[in-house]
Amino acid sequence: MKEPLTPVQLVALIDKHGAGSVTSVLLDMQNKPKLLTDHDSANLTAQSWLRRRQQREVPVTA
């Protein structure tokens, strides 16, 4: 990736999404083979993945 995740960006992601979610997404990003060639910014990619996961986990109202 052209733009790696900075410590400040990591702290902001953890504050917004929680350490567990961020850790999970970063591990998944690490295991995606073509990630380095398909995406430029680690921060924007992580934000996108976290947002998508959050949308899938919307609680069902009674």
Cβ(42)–Cβ(29) below 8 Å: yes
The total number of structural domains that make up the chain = 1
Residue range 12-35: average pLDDT?
Answer: 92
35 found inside a domain: yes
Per DSSP, 18 falls in state -
60 found inside a domain: no
Give the domain range for residue 49: 7-55
28 found inside a domain: yes
Residue range 43-62: average pLDDT?
Answer: 84
Residue range 27-37: average pLDDT?
Answer: 87
Which region holds residue 45: left if phi is over 0, alpha if psi is between -120 and 50, else beta? alpha
> Residue 23 has what pLDDT?
95
38 found inside a domain: yes
> Residue 28 has what pLDDT?
92
61 found inside a domain: no
Predicted confidence (pLDDT) per residue in 19-28, tens digit: 999 999 999 9
> Residue 49 has what pLDDT?
93
Q: Determine the Cα–Cα distance for residues 29 and 47; give it in Å rounded to an integer.
A: 11
40 found inside a domain: yes
